[in-house]
Chain A
Amino acid sequence: MRYAAEVALWLLALGSYWLFPDYLGLLAQVWIAALFAVSLDLLVGYAGVVTLGHAAFFGLGAYVAGILAVQGWGEPFSGLLLAGLAAALLGLLTAPLVLRGGELAGLMVTLGLALMLYEAANKAAFLTGGADGLQGVEIWPLFGRFRFDLYGRIAFLYALGVLFLCFMALRFLVATPFGLALRGIRGNALRMAAIGTPVRRRLMAAYAVSAGVAGLAGALLAQTAQFVSLDVLAFHRSAEGLLMLLIGGLGALYGAVLGAAAFTVAHHLLAEMTPQFWEFWIGAALVMLVMLGRGGMLGLLRRLGR
């Protein structure tokens, strides 16, 4: 039953290629947002580390992939991998800083680090294009054959493929003893330490993996849009990721995907309205979802299924 639902979901995702041929660009955005949300879910929903700066890793991935292409290496897969590795490395380096103090101090450090990176990208205009964005990103054809087209066909398939692979890897990861240890730490870190789990090392590993996957998502955006703007590092992106998790249901990978899909589609539908209007409703959604309690769409589905 469960597996049937999963297979149906992925078939639906692939089938949307033929169902909505005019919206392939938007759907590629959905897959990228989903990958970002899934990476955030591993950190927030499973490991219980609250972060306000996950956009830092997304943005770093986007800039690494973008700058590589601008400097003359536009091969998509190696660019993607390098971007993911760079983000994972940044995650590994900053994890000790974030996990050092208490929960509150860690929260502020994530916020501060993301803001620092934003400022750095803003000021290093010779490398990143600064506020004008990174122009002239040219990505070579996929496998040397499939050129990224205007309709977003290749972008759609490429993003969905990467999402699927990463999702399955994470799905496997959270079912391993490592994933169980993370959930235990979220529940009670002291007791986990008492039964012999190296809490810090587990959290650091989760942080690095989550950062790396977020970097992959950022690189996907840079490669499919062939443009990188400062927006990839903005505080809004971190907050929107958390909102996606709230919508879909925290601590469940499929919830993150559903939340990201719902969020991106809603954004697209409401984009014709003024930006203030959109921002107001993001805020209202956050407040209401917190007030109503967790669970999100997936929780609702589970309750209906019972």
Chain B
Amino acid sequence: MLTILLDGIASGMLLFVLACGLSVTMGLMNFVNLAHGAFGMAGGYVLVVLLQRWGWPFLACLPAAFLATALLGLLLERTLYARLYRREHLDQVLFSIGLVFMAGATADWLMGAQQQIIQLPAWLSGRVDLGIGELGRYRIFLILVCAGIVAGLQLGLLRTRFGAQLRAAVDDATVARGLGIPVPRLFAITFALGSGLAGLGGALGVEVLGLDPTFPLKYLVYMLIVVAVGGANTILGPALAALLLGVVDVAGKYWLPQLGAFIIYTAMVALLLLRPHGLLAKQA
């Protein structure tokens, strides 16, 4: 019972790290980026290559995965995404599906279609007895790291000048621009940060969520739920949504395996119908 809860929380936190960039893309630029999961996948493969083939230490691989995907995100944002902000949603959807297909095929070609397996360092593998039951060390590590990221983002969004500008731009991009806030630059930086976080989430998640070329499509629905349910203007909304989703998903897979992914899709459709503007959103 406790193990399931903890597993759920760990994968929920991972989902949040994966999806938080997307909530900004959708909220700030109103851009439907279905290719967000591809950044997560890229981060995962960076970790696999560095850790398994080049023998880097695990803790050095994580920042590398973050930086690599952030750079990739910045590059794509400047060259491709920036041209499509003013287009219709249909164009954005088609464009990003195209990216997903390309990313999946490239990963398949470079790394093969099989699930990637990594060897965790000794201090992260195995279980530890905390007095309330045996818990996996890696799950605890995940929860601590992701909680740190959530706290950092929340503080950054609330306490820094950059965060204030970002909040203003999400609320009303036109007025923010009028006040002299450099919205395009703000967005490029946020996009890179979001991609980097997705990459970090993908890297952390290789052990928990798995990694193969279908990753971007498989977790697309999860990320969309987090964004749709959580709303775009807070960190805590998506974080809460992600935790809920993680626990429901893990519990569902454990207790009702015959229903498979059905639960999660049903939850998504139901939540979208009940709260089309997000769980914590103000009623428009």
Contact = CB atoms under 8 A, between A and B. Distances in A.
Contacts of B269: 97, 109, 112-113, 116
A290 B95 contact: yes
B116 to A, nearest CB: 16
A107 B93 contact: yes
Given A276-B105, A283-B100, A104 B32 contact: yes
Contact of B99 (A52, A113, A283): A283
Interface string A85-116: 00000000000010011111101110111011
A279 B260 contact: no
Contact of B224 (A103, A108, A280): A108
A243 B101 CA distance: 12
A285 interface: yes
B272 A286 contact: no
Which of B99, B258, B268 has the largest count of A CB atoms less than 10 A from its CB?
B268
Given A50-B90, A52-B93, A107-B89, A285 B98 contact: yes
Interface string B89-111: 11101110111111111101100
A119 B260 CA distance: 8
Contacts of A294: 91
B26 interface: yes
A120 interface: yes
A287 B81 CA distance: 11
A44 B80 contact: no
A112 B265 contact: yes
A10 interface: no
A220 B37 CA distance: 35
A283 B224 contact: no
A122 interface: yes
Contacts of B94: 242-243, 246, 286, 289-290
Contact of B91 (A112, A243, A290): A290
B interface: dominant SS: helix
A123 interface: yes
Interface residues of A, number: 41
A98 to B, nearest CB: 10
A123 B260 contact: yes
A291 B91 CA distance: 9
B28 to A, nearest CB: 14
A115 B93 contact: no
Contacts of A291: 80, 83, 95
A119 B261 contact: yes
Contacts of A192: none
Contact of B102 (A104, A122, A284): A284
B221 interface: yes
Contacts of A122: 260
A53 B261 CA distance: 17
Interface in B238-284: 258-262, 265-266, 268-269, 272-273, 276-277
Which of B103, B266, B269, B277 has the largest count of A CB atoms less than 10 A from its CB?
B269
A173 B258 CA distance: 44
Given A276-B105, A283-B99, A286-B98, 16 more contacts: A101-B277, A105-B228, A109-B273, A116-B265, A242-B93, A246-B94, A277-B105, A283-B98, A283-B103, A283-B105, A286-B95, A287-B98, A287-B102, A290-B84, A290-B94, A291-B95
Interface of A: 44, 50, 52, 97, 100-105, 107-109, 111-113, 115-116, 119-120, 122-123, 235, 239, 242-243, 246, 276-277, 279-280, 282-287, 289-291, 294
18 contacts: A44-B90, A101-B277, A105-B277, A107-B93, A111-B221, A111-B224, A112-B221, A112-B269, A115-B221, A122-B260, A235-B217, A276-B108, A277-B109, A283-B97, A283-B102, A287-B102, A290-B95, A290-B98
- 9 closest Cβ contacts across the A-B interface? A286-B98, A283-B101, A101-B276, A283-B102, A280-B105, A287-B98, A279-B105, A290-B95, A105-B276
